[in-house]
Amino acid sequence: MMDKTAFRAARIFDGTDWHDDAVLLVQGGRVAAIVPAAKAPDARPLPEAIVPGLIDLQVNGGGGVLWNNDPSAAAIGTICKAHAAFGTTSVMITLITDTPDTTARAIASAQAAVGTPGMLGIHLEGPHLSLARKGTHDPALIRKMTHADQANLIAAKTHFDHMICTVGAETVSTDQVQALAAAGITVSLGHTDCSYDTALAYADAGATMVTHLFNAMGQMQHRAPGLVGAALDDGRLWAGLIADGYHVADAALRVALRGKAGPGGIFLVSDAMSTIGSDLTEFTLNGRQIFRAEGRLTLADGTLAGADIVLIDALRYVHQSLGLPLETALQLASTAPAQALGISDRGHLHPGAHADFFCLTPDIRAAGTWIGGQQITGGA
């Protein structure tokens, strides 16, 4: 039988409840139990609270690396480690709209990187989006999904437990969504001007997610609710939110968090770029310069180009700026994204869960991260 490893903390959050002066028992990379400290006197003491590792479903880069610019297995390792330093233990490595060749190389590199600590799967954001809602995506690379594209995506999914495809209704049909969903791909609506009724038709076809709610989509009006209205009104759709003080106004964040119909809920994403864990002040994407200043990443014309945050920054923002309870903020960045992907053994520390956790300081920082019970980083 494998030996148990024990970690003691003044407080442990299991994803639902707090346990005071408790010990987290880990066996075989999974949580065995949380017990009172008196039952495990030899446990390793940790200086801060233990909380579930964060799960980020939209990560474009980190550690000075952008996956589009370096679609390699080594780059994936760098990105995952950069985010682990901030308490993120599961990452959906995300490729922004790019050429067919770069996309193929990225998928191949991700296949080679399966098993990398922190890599949960891949997220292909484009190229099958609406030109009108391109955001920072290169319009020259946006195109309709062909039967060959569909077949390639379905073939790629066989290599990954989890795969997200962000698509626009303008360039992907409901039949194609149905085929992707049937293959186990999570289809997310984003970068689209689709109507409320169209969004529901795509949900009927199997779409279950909405990419960065409010951003790069038509906004909710009283007679034309659009994708925003569909995301908030239809419980089949989970919706990601970028909470950095720039992408979405606080009032809109509060309305979305209060108004979301379940069981599909809201989860936080970072939409992080290569700047995370680095001192980069600018970088390129599809040959265009992106500038970093005052917490924002923008093209020369001011268009937001991803975000200069990690997931714990979003967690801190909704807790400190919006006033959400810490427990709720933690769930939005751990339990909720796991549920959005249909994962039952991540995002919490109940028995049987992956032993993915980090030490949370009182000022909402990470001070050491463990994946599968193994320490990955000492913190940031």
Tell me the CA distances in angstroms from 38 to 5, 24, 370, one per residue in order.
15, 12, 23
Whether the Cβ atoms of residue 209 and residue 189 lie closer than 8 Å to each other: yes
Helices and strands (H, E) in the chain, number of each type:
10, 21
Q: Residue 244 catalytic? A: no
Which one-letter DSSP state was computed for residue 152? Answer: H
Type and span of the H or E element at 65: strand 65-66
Q: What does 200-227 look like in DSSP terms, one character per residue?
A: HHHHHHT--EESSTTTTBPPP-SS--HH
Q: What does 334-378 look like in DSSP terms, one character per residue?
A: THHHHHHTT-SSSSS-STTSB--EEEEPTTS-EEEEEETTEEEE-
Whether the Cβ atoms of residue 185 and residue 158 lie closer than 8 Å to each other: no
Count of other CB atoms within 10 angstroms of residue 342: 11
Q: Which residue has the tokens 């409320």?
A: 196
Q: Which amino acid is at 309?
A: I
Which one-letter DSSP state was computed for residue 85? Answer: T
Tell me the CA distances in angstroms from 128 to 173, 275, 344, one per residue in order.
10, 26, 30
Q: How far apart are CA 312 and CA 146, in angstroms?
A: 38
Listed residue (338, 337, 281) closest to 308, CA to CA: 281
DSSP H helices in the chain: 73-84, 100-113, 147-157, 174-182, 196-205, 226-233, 250-259, 311-320, 326-332, 335-340
The catalytic residue among 14, 70, 244, 271 is 271
Q: What does 164-202 look like in DSSP terms, one character per residue?
A: EEEE-TTTS-HHHHHHHHHTT-EEEE-SB---HHHHHHH
Residues with catalytic function: 271
